[in-house]
Amino acid sequence: MIKPRILIVDDEEDILELVAYNLKKEGYQTVCAKSGEDALKIIKTEDIHVMVLDLMLPGISGLEVAKILKRDPEKSHIPVLMLTAKDAESDMVSGLEIGADDYVTKPFSPKVLIARIRAIIRKNNTLKSDGQTVIQRHGITIHPGRRTIIIDNRSVNLTYTEFQILYYLASRPGWVFTRTQIVDAVRGDNYSVTDRSVDVQIVGLRKKLEDYGKYIETVRNVGYRFRE
């Protein structure tokens, strides 16, 4: 079995060494980059399964790196975990809005970081292993194995998290899910995130689905459901 390859992007040498050391102990392959420019070059030439990305980088910022990655149809599926000293809620929301899949602040526990990375990989593998379960609802075709969304014979490009939220809701039409349930299903149990972050993901998802976004309904004071 191929060991997942993690790209670590940080301009601090001690952080790179700490993260790489702990990941290697867990059996992961690691690749390091000290700048956004280097990270983008590596992404083009190597098979990366998860990117651990610092926000504050010299030259191209971490947010800009994530934006560029998520605009690339061939690489947008790569999950991004942001590792940063910027812990304001506005920074977390900014990262989630552009497609980040998780957010860990410095100083951090290596064990927590490893657990978050493992959860991202597990969720990604779950989607891949369920490749035969194609969902068709209201003219929307969701293929988890291919990670494709087809509407009116056109493909819709979603982030990793947006895809998982849509698949989760559409797999049980009519069921109402709380924001906490959505977070646990998409990211793993007990992920620390605000209701605002879930709402941001839903807003982005509806926008990309355009007229079909109406099928994701808000249930006041509870959460969300996919219309039956």
Q: What is the pLDDT of residues 21-62, one digit of tens each?
A: 999 999 999 999 999 999 999 998 888 889 999 988 888 988
Residue-level pLDDT at 11: 93
Per-residue pLDDT at 224: 93
pLDDT in tens, 123-135: 766 545 444 567 8
Q: Is the pLDDT of residue 159 over 90?
A: no
Which of the two residues, 3 and 109, has the higher pLDDT score? 109
**Which residue has better confidence, 132 or 143?**
143
Residue 146: pLDDT above 80?
no
105-112 average pLDDT score: 88
- Whether residue 163 is predicted with pLDDT greater than 80 in this model: the reply is yes
Average confidence (pLDDT) over 212-218: 94
At residue 188 the predicted structure's pLDDT band, cuts being 50, 70 and 90, is low
Q: How confident is the model at residue 145 (pLDDT cuts 50, 70, 90)?
A: confident
Average confidence score pLDDT of the chain: 84
Domain boundaries defined on the chain: 5-126, 130-226
Q: Which fold has domain 5-126?
A: Rossmann fold (3.40.50)
Residue 228 predicted with pLDDT over 90: no
CATH fold label, 130-226: Arc Repressor Mutant, subunit A (1.10.10)
CA distance 195 to 150: 28
